[in-house]
Amino acid sequence: MVDNAFVALTHSSTLRRLLYEALAALGFDPTDTYRRAYAGVALAAPLLEAREEHDNAPRFWQALEGISGDVDIGLHLGEVMQPRPMDVVGYLLLAARDLRQGLQAFVRFQHILSGGFAARLEEQGDEVRLVIDLNYREVGSLRQQMECLAVLLSKMLASAGGELPLLGVEFRHRAPRRLAEHRRLLGVEPRFSQPHDVLILSRASLSRPSRSASPRLFEVLSEEAEKQLAGLLENQLLVRVRYWLEVNLGATTCSLEACAVALGSPRSTLQRSLSEQGSSFRALHDEVRRLRALRLLDQGLGVREVARACGFAELSPFYRAFRRWQGGTPRGRG
């Protein structure tokens, strides 16, 4: 039996293959760029069927600006990328009858692309918000990655349904000093330091027929996507809830309601599904807190820092929880 507490999330090699091509188009040696970014960490070739460990990706994106010397490297990579279907999700977007069906497929099968996606579609009045949050353990939103992804996705949506101006873009990261390239490549000036990474479209655009619609092909591709999704061990519910807790613990309030929204599930359904698997949100929350506390204490962090990182506003509840977990008091730098 696999201990799904330690199942690593993965992502497909699609984006890395596009990145190799884009780096070369901008005059960089892709292999050397990746070698420098990963600083000696072994990295497999981006093969068609290969999957890569999700939480390794920040190494590349955090190092890229320094390696390239380009403060807007994410935008410029997105600009030269040639969006084309390279996996089942890309083909589904093209075969969909309209943009609404294509985006619903993207949200449904997002974890085939990346286990860290927390994407969803929100319709509000005349606008539609495509949330494209991509999360990592103990790493905030990566500016260069999200700006690259925003440009790439806007181009992919346009290739499926014709010219598609964005009504707005929101990013979780802070605003850079210059925004000229954002305005040029996204067509709007983004809002920064927002709760989510979002592309905003007109609701009417979702009903626009796709130029490459193929109902029968969409049906076949959907069946294949369901098989691929079911084959991802990491996509099991307990793993997904644990990962959401690990990402959000200490940064925001970790409630069953918030988790259900992030996973696209009604609160009662999530609660029932966890119960059917012999667990509960409270038990998983407690487990993630315990494991983080022990790890941070082993690293030598002070008790107050550990308590805060585990989502405790005060020390006394942390001490009570730790006694329950370990039968004693935490030992740190105080």
Q: Name every residue whose Cβ is closer than 8 Å to that of residue 308 and which is 6 or more positions away in sequence.
A: 250
pLDDT at 6 exceeding the cut of 60: no
The secondary structure element, H or E, covering residue 117 is strand 117-124
Q: Give how far the C-alpha of residue 105 lies from the chain's centroid of Cα atoms, to the nearest Å.
A: 16
Q: How far apart, in Å, are the Cα atoms of 135 and each of 114, 140, 156?
A: 10, 7, 21
Q: Which CATH architecture has domain 4-207?
A: Alpha-Beta Complex (3.90)
Confidence of residue 2 (pLDDT cuts 50, 70, 90): very low
* Residue reference for tokens 């130029």: 211
Contact 9, 234 (CB under 8 A): yes
Confidence of residue 306 (pLDDT cuts 50, 70, 90): very high
pLDDT digits (tens, 9 = 90+) for 188-227: 999 999 999 999 999 999 998 888 999 999 999 999 999 9
Write out the residue limits of the CATH 1.10.10.60 domain(s) in the chain. Answer: 236-326
Q: Which fold has domain 236-326?
A: Arc Repressor Mutant, subunit A (1.10.10)
Tally of residues, the chain: 334
pLDDT at 37 exceeding the cut of 80: yes
* pTM score of the predicted model: 0.81
Render 55-112 in DSSP notation, one character per residue. GGHHHHHHHHHHHHT-TTHHHHHHHH------SHHHHHHHHSSBHHHHHHHHHHTHHH
Q: 49 in helix, strand or coil?
A: coil
pLDDT > 70: what percent of the chain? 94
The secondary structure element, H or E, covering residue 29 is none
Confidence of residue 333 (pLDDT cuts 50, 70, 90): very low
Which pair of tokens denotes residue 106?
Answer: 């993207």
Contact 54, 126 (CB under 8 A): no
Looking at per-residue pLDDT, the higher value among 76 and 38 belongs to 76
CA dihedral 48, 54, 56, 57 (to 10 degrees): 80
pLDDT > 90: what percent of the chain? 65
Q: Give how far the C-alpha of residue 247 lies from the chain's centroid of Cα atoms, to the nearest Å.
A: 11
pLDDT at 70 exceeding the cut of 70: yes
The overall average pLDDT reported for the chain is 90
**Euclidean distance between CA atoms 208 and 165, whole angstroms:** 13
pLDDT at 92 exceeding the cut of 90: yes
Q: Give how far the C-alpha of residue 217 lies from the chain's centroid of Cα atoms, to the nearest Å.
A: 27
Average pLDDT (110-115) is: 90
Write out the residue limits of the CATH 3.90.1520 domain(s) in the chain. Answer: 4-207
DSSP code at position 199: E
Looking at per-residue pLDDT, the higher value among 219 and 50 belongs to 219
Rounded to 5°, the CA angle 45-50-55 comes to 85
